[in-house]
Amino acid sequence: GKGVNTPDMSVQPRDHSDSKAMGDIPDAEVVRAIKEGGLAVNKSVLMPAWGHVLNDGEVTEMLAYLRHVCNCGTGK
C-alpha cells in the first residue's frame, strides 16, 4: 500500500496485509471488487475492473493470495 506512486494518488491504496481490515471484508465483496472494480463495492474509482482480463479461476487465486497476505483466512 505505500509504493513510490502513492504520494501522488488522491486515494491511498488499501493495506492488504492488515488482517483486521481485510478479515472484515467478505470474500464475495473482494471477488466483486476484483471483477467489477472499486465502484462496484463503493470504493475508489481508481480500482479498475479485472473481470475482462482474469478468468474465474484466476480471480479465485487472487482472493486466496490476498487472504494469505493478510493472514486472515477466509472472509465471511
The series of mean pLDDT values per 10 residues for the chain, 76 residues long, is 78 84 93 96 91 97 95 75
Helix residue spans in the chain (DSSP H): 19-23, 27-36, 56-70
Secondary structure letter of residue 51 according to DSSP: T
pTM of whole model > 0.85?
no
